[in-house]
Structure 1
Amino acid sequence: MGIVKDLQGSSELVLNLTRREIKGKYKRTALGQLWSLANPLAAMAIYTVVFAFIIRVQPDPGDPSGLNIFALWLLCALLPWTFFTNVVNGGMGTLVGNENLIKKVYFPRIALLVANSFSWMFSWSIEMVVLVLALLIVGSNALVWLPLAVVFMALMSLFATGVSLMLSVANVHFRDTQHFVGILFQVWFYLTPIVYPVSLVADQSERLGPLFGSVTLLDLYLLNPIGQFAEVFRNLLYDNRWPDLSTALACAAWSLGAFFLGYALFKRSEKGLAEAL
């Protein structure tokens, strides 16, 4: 595979870049890596107050776990979403941010994007460990499903890296990309079942009926890849059951498709990156 050849002689470079990214995120801060927990926990607290106590969104209890804790239900989808946006936002600005390095020395440019993904995977792993511990404390059987959750974490990392590869090149040629993506993420967040259950969309879809032909609002809504990942993580960690096979296969397809498309587009543009910068 091309990417293996690209990184085969650059493993030390990727490792050093990953270390630089991890250390640089919270350099000279008092809490250090604890900030990787503080940000999602603060978001969880805000969304829990707004959606659980003010708007009173009530997702179904975990099946078969029986859990009925909105904050943990929320975190099972919020943490993957936060990881995805961090990888894409970080990767999108990586080439521009390392302009001087790219112009001075030749090395596989993809190493910068891979290191960015690895650094955020490190932070996400810490967050997920804390989430699993919280789930175990309240009686969830999440530990049994953790190995499968790790597999889907790897798949989501591939998906996020693929998207960041595409957008990093776009951002080199069109610097407004990062601003468009910022707006897109605001819309995408509320189009994803993170702070509300899919059942609310299903009810609205049933009231509206088919939009055209036999296609319903729910059919279009379920095309959202992050929504499918959110469903899988909730099934595994909160519900403690196997995800639907169709949802699991869709996640794998989105991941591999986005990664290989992103890699192909990145390689096609790689030779002209220094000049474009």
Structure 2
Amino acid sequence: MHRVKAAELVSSRELMVNLTLRELRGKYKRSVLGWTWSLLNPLASMVIFTIVFSFFLKVKPPVGDPSGLHNFAFFLLCGMLPWNFLNNGMMGGMSALIGNANLIKKVYFPREILVSAVVAAFDVSFLIEMGVLAAALLVAGNFMIPWIPVALFIIAVLTMFVLGIALVVSVLNVYFRDVQHLVGILMMLWFYGTPIVYPITYVPKEWKGLPLRHIYTFNPMVRFAETMRDALYDLRIPSWNDTLFLVVVSVATLALGMWVFSKLEGRLAEEL
């Protein structure tokens, strides 16, 4: 069964490419600024959060070790861009099946490809945004070129994690339309429960006898943000513990996502 599914996915790779290109072309169709929005949106978020958290709430980023970089905007973007990819990939993937209901009803093909194409399209945007961030870091004197392979590895692992979650929420959303509203609320809680706009050092080490900061690190997005900051902000290799944790969690999440999807995809055409 698994070999048949794998063969179907491999034979549908051309369809996957075409659907991804369709997503990319349609993303900013009839927009005056077009792909510029993929840069303006994170920049606008950066400006807003920098003003609120850095100037008003006086949140101070750590000094890069050993880079010596001390800049809230760069600290924020190193965590914000991976988070935006997670959020966009999940929310976009969640509507992938419903948005292609007619296609699903007319012809058979591996349904996972619809979700994968959406995530892949957001991955392209994510890579462009990270490229702009890398260029800005270089201009600021943070020579992070040797750490680009590390950042690309983190992005690859994050893509597996995002795709796994997107597969689950996309198929659940077909059967239970309340999922999209619930996910929106959960994403808001997840965002502020992750040290994106504040350093993890702001989280108390202990709270009522509980090792709160240690518990925090079981949130995969904490480690994704921290490892990306290790590579691009601090200019150092992320810890092996963090890296191994992320690889294991991401592979497990992708496997779980594919399993849940395979169990529920049988009645998609009828439910849509």
How far off is 1:97 after superposition? 0.8
Residue identity opposite 2:80 in structure 1: L
Residue by residue over 1:100-150, the C-alpha shift from the partner in whole angstroms, topping out at 9 and shown as x without a partner, is 110111111011011111100110011000000000111112111001110
How far off is 1:30 after superposition? 1.2
Match in the other structure for 2:205 = 205
Whether 1:232 aligns to 2:227 is yes
Distance 1:209 1:141 in 2: 42
Match in the other structure for 1:261 = 256
Match in the other structure for 1:74 = 76
TM-score, length of structure 2 as denominator length: 0.97
Residue identity opposite 2:44 in structure 1: A
CA RMSD in angstroms, aligned pairs only: 1.1
Q: Which of 239, 247, 258 is the matching residue for 1:252? A: 247
Match in the other structure for 2:217 = 222
Distance 2:109 2:241 in 1: 40
Match in the other structure for 2:32 = 30
Match in the other structure for 1:58 = 60
Identical pairs, percent? 48
Residue by residue over 1:58-115, the C-alpha shift from the partner in whole angstroms, topping out at 9 and shown as x without a partner, is 1211000000111011000000000000000000011111111101111110110111
Q: Which of 135, 140, 143 is the matching residue for 1:141? A: 143
Distance 1:59 1:53 in 2: 12
Residue identity opposite 1:162 in structure 2: G
- SS of aligned partner of 2:205: helix
State the 4+ residue runs in structure 1 displaced beyond 4 angstroms: none
How far off is 1:209 after superposition? 4.7
Match in the other structure for 1:10 = 12
Distance 1:139 1:254 in 2: 34
How far off is 1:187 after superposition? 0.7
Distance 1:242 1:11 in 2: 34
**Any stretches of 5+ residues in structure 2 without a counterpart?**
none
How far off is 1:4 after superposition? 3.7
How far off is 1:219 after superposition? 2.3
**Any stretches of 5+ residues in structure 1 without a counterpart?**
none
Residue by residue over 1:144-191, the C-alpha shift from the partner in whole angstroms, topping out at 9 and shown as x without a partner, is 100111011011001000000000111011001000000111111100
Residue identity opposite 1:205 in structure 2: K
- SS of aligned partner of 1:272: helix
Distance 2:112 2:171 in 1: 11
TM-score, length of structure 1 as denominator length: 0.95
